[in-house]
Amino acid sequence: MGDYPRHFAIDPSGSLLFACNQHSDCITSFRIDRESGKLSFTGKYAGVGSPAVIALT
């Protein structure tokens, strides 16, 4: 769901993964299935310029 994922972070609840996609200039989000670990795209992304690192606070 993006080009050249460079970094990712998992939210504190363990239910979402956010990926920085450097070449497509966006951050995408995925739900994490807690039983299988499989990811599913949420359909949401944020456009940002060349993201390299993501930090959740």
> Is 42 part of any domain?
yes
Overall number of domains in the chain: 1
Instruction: For 6-54, write each residue's pLDDT tens digit.
Output: 999 999 999 999 999 988 999 999 999 999 999 999 999 999 988 889 8
Residue 22 in domain: yes
Q: Is residue 57 part of a domain?
A: no
Cα–Cα distances (Å) from 22 to 12, 38, 57, in that order, read 23, 23, 21
Task: Write down the pTM of the prediction.
Answer: 0.85
Side-chain-side CA neighbours of 36 within 13 Å: the count stands at 5
Does any domain span residue 33? yes
How many CB atoms lie under 10 A from the CB of residue 54?
15
Residue 24 included in any domain = yes
Q: Which domain holds residue 25?
A: 5-47
